[in-house]
Amino acid sequence: MHTRVMVMARHQLVREGLVALLSRQGDFALMGSFGDGREGAAKAVELRPELVMMELQLEGLHGVDVIRRIAAGSPHTRVLCLAADEPHELMRTALDAGARGFLAKDASPEEMLRALSAVRHRQLYLSPSLAEAAVMATTPETHRSYAFCKLTPKEREVVQLLAEGLSTKEAAARLNLSVKTVATHREHATGKLGIRGVAALTRFAIREGLAHP
């Protein structure tokens, strides 16, 4: 019986590469691939795949919030994150949100299959090449990502969209909110963070892993 799997990655080339690798294996049934986190989360809740392989850096909605939506709407779905140089605080936040492991982006196809198998069987998987970051991420004393401690989910969405270059009006349309509401979320976020201006907000988002440089 095939394992139903979904792929989420920011760049099309990465998505297509993962899809090609999975397609060469006879054990997987692909349920879709997505670059937009909001769309991917909605589809995961709708289709309920057994596995999701995903990057944390996604368009529109950060991977941690995607994981939280999947955990709430499809609790039997297991999430394996792809990692390169994510801060260990962000890795810890993702694990707390419900991720079941981290696979290094330069891992071999054989390791990818081992990781998927482990996660499918409810085991935690951490790539050996991520050993130092993984130890820090699983240490109880490790602090959570600042953005995920201080900001509400909606404030994070607004910060991410603005950092990705959208205007307040464009962000409002994407989130199906009024321009005034988005501006209020932005003001609340900048007030909590003690910063002013979109440029400073963008630098914060990149540093915290909410947006890609």
Rounded Cα distance, 189 and 7, in Å: 31
| Number of alpha carbons in the 13 Å side-chain half-sphere of residue 2 | 13
Where b means 16+ CB within 10 Å and e means fewer, 117-147 reads: ebbbeeeebbbeebeebbebbeeeebebbbb
Q: Which helix (H) or strand (E) holds 150?
A: helix 146-150
Rounded Cα distance, 195 and 163, in Å: 14
Rounded Cα distance, 130 and 101, in Å: 11
Distance, C-alpha 177 to centroid of its chain:
23
User: Where do the domains of the chain lie, and which CATH numbers do they carry?
Assistant: 3-137 (3.40.50.2300), 146-208 (1.10.10.10)
- Give me 83's structure tokens: 């990692």
Rounded Cα distance, 210 and 164, in Å: 9
The 10s digit of each residue's pLDDT in 51-99 is 999 999 898 899 999 999 999 999 999 999 998 777 777 888 888 899 9
For position 146, what pLDDT does the model report? 64
Kindly indicate the confidence band of residue 144, based on its pLDDT and cuts at 50, 70 and 90: low
Q: Identify whether the C-beta of residue 91 lies closer than 8 Å to the C-beta of residue 119.
A: no
For position 15, what pLDDT does the model report? 93
Distance, C-alpha 121 to centroid of its chain:
21
Q: Identify whether the C-beta of residue 208 lies closer than 8 Å to the C-beta of residue 145.
A: yes
Question: What 3-state DSSP class applies to 17?
Answer: helix
User: What are the start-end ranges of the E strands in 22-178?
Assistant: 28-34, 51-55, 78-83, 101-104, 125-126
By mean pLDDT, which of 32-36, 91-95, 134-138, 161-165 is the weakest? 134-138
For position 151, what pLDDT does the model report? 85
Average pLDDT, the chain: 88
